[in-house]
Structures are given as C-alpha cells and as structure tokens.
C-alpha cells in the first residue's frame, strides 16, 4: 500500500519505451493558434492578455538587455503551468514531479545567467561573492559561503518545484483513499473528507500556477543580477 502511493510518480512506459517525451509534447497542441482575423476569439484574447501582463510584470525591473529573454521565459511559464495543471487530472502523469526534468530546466537557465554576467560585467558578477566592508579575517569564509550559495541556486529551483508538486499529489491521493475506505463504514466522515479533498484540489490548482510563476520569477531575478 505504501509503495503504491508513489507509483503515480513513475515515468510511464509502453513496450519498454518511456512516454515522458509524449507527455512533454502533447501540451503544446492545446494552446490556441494565432488567427489571421482582425478579431480574435475569447480564448486567444485571454491568452494574449496573460502573456502581455506576465511579460510586463517580470521584465519591468530588468534592463533592456535582458528583454531578449522574454520569449524564452514566457514560453517556459506557460509550459510549466500546462504541465502542472494537466497533472491534476485523473490517470495522468506529471512530468514536473521528476527532479531530473526540473534540473534540466533549472541548470541551463541558471548557468546562462551566470555566464552572461561573467562576460559582460565580470567585476560586478564577482563582487557578489564578497560584500563590501567585510573584515579581512572573514573574507575567505564569506567567499566560500557565497560560492556555495551560488551553486545551490539551480538545485533549489528544481527541488522546490518537485517537492511542492509531489507533496500535493500525495496529499490528494491519501485523502481520496481515506474517503473511499470510510464511505461504507462512516458515511458522514467520508462526506466531510470528500469536501476536504475538493478544497485541497482547488488549493493544488493554485499551487500548480504559483510554483510555475515562482520558478520563472527566480530565474528572472538571477538574470537581473547579471544584466
């Protein structure tokens, strides 16, 4: 029973072929395509409004040099939200519960921001490793601490997204199992548990969107430090 709770996080396979590539490709087919008409439909208008609002909010404090990342970060935001939301449907697989996938998103983006800072503003990028006015005796220790914190950033990005989604899915499955078991024994308690399950599902919908936003927001903050 305990092991079955974690079966939902296993990458699905058919005839020995991993289907995670299919799970990553199919969400792109759900996005509305741009229309050649002068007036768009409501879904496309809502999507355009969301993209414009998100881009303005994220890139407002970033220098114009960093605006080249707008397409990349906006696409990543929409992609992560779609994966997280589809993973809440029954009998589906959530790719973003895999730490390897989240690290594959986090490490290249973090490394790109660091390399940009070292290329265009090397003195400013290296100055983050040693705060101004540090006592001489603390300089080696602070440099080591700041270097470790710098390399922990991509790990924190991936683990945060993985842990929040995994915990939410486990809670939903535990409460759903409890409601199913209690239904023939204590119907009143089972109904209350089902109401709790509904509220938790609504919370997980919010968490799915918030975690995608936090992931992209932190990447934009790393970009802001190095641009």
pLDDT mean by block of 10 residues, the chain; 227 residues = 63 73 80 72 82 87 86 90 88 86 93 90 80 78 88 93 90 88 87 91 92 93 87
pLDDT at 81: 92
Q: Which residues of 216-227 are buried (b: 16+ CB within 10 A; e: fewer)?
A: bbbbbebbeebb
Cα(175)–Cα(190) distance, integer angstroms: 10
Beta bridge partners of 18: 13
Distance of CA 115 to the CA centre of its chain: 22
* Per-residue DSSP letter, 49: H
H-helix segments, 26-138: 42-59, 70-86, 99-120, 122-127
CA distances from 76 to 19, 54, 115 (A): 21, 12, 20
pLDDT at 6: 67
pLDDT at 47: 81
Query: Per the structure, how many domains does the chain have?
Result: 1
Residue 123 inside a domain? The answer is: yes
pLDDT at 158: 93
CB 99 within 8 A of CB 93: no
Residue 88 inside a domain? The answer is: yes
Residue 14 inside a domain? The answer is: no
Residue 196 inside a domain? The answer is: yes
CA distances from 51 to 23, 46, 75, 159 (A): 23, 9, 9, 26
Structural domain that includes position 68: 57-130+137-226
pLDDT at 111: 94
Residue 38 inside a domain? The answer is: no
Residue 8 inside a domain? The answer is: no
CA distances from 160 to 83, 106, 167, 204, 206 (A): 16, 11, 11, 15, 15
Residue 166 inside a domain? The answer is: yes
pLDDT at 1: 47
CB 50 within 8 A of CB 61: no
Residue 37 inside a domain? The answer is: no
Cα(224)–Cα(125) distance, integer angstroms: 11
């Amino acid at each position: 029973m305990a092991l079955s709770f974690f079966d939902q996080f296993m990458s699905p396979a058919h005839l020995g072929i991993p289907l995670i590539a299919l799970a990553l490709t199919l969400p792109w087919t759900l996005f509305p395509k741009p229309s050649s008409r002068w007036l768009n439909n409501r879904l496309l208008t809502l999507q355009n409004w969301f993209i414009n609002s998100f881009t303005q909010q994220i890139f407002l404090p970033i220098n114009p040099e960093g605006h080249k990342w707008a397409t990349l970060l906006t696409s990543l935001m929409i992609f992560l939200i779609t994966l997280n939301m589809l993973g809440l449907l029954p009998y589906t697989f959530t790719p973003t519960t895999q730490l390897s996938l989240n690290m594959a998103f986090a490490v290249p983006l973090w490394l790109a921001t660091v390399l940009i800072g070292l290329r265009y503003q090397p003195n400013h990028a290296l100055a983050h490793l040693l705060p101004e006015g540090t006592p001489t005796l603390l300089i080696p220790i602070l440099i080591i601490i700041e270097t470790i914190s710098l390399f922990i950033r991509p790990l924190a990005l991936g683990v945060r997204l993985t842990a929040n989604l995994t915990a939410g899915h486990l809670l939903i499955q535990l409460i759903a199992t409890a409601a199913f078991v209690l239904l023939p024994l204590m119907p009143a308690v089972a109904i209350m548990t089902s109401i709790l399950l509904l509220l938790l599902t609504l919370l997980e919908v919010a968490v799915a969107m918030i975690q995608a936003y936090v992931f992209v927001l932190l990447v934009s903050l790393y970009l802001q430090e190095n641009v």
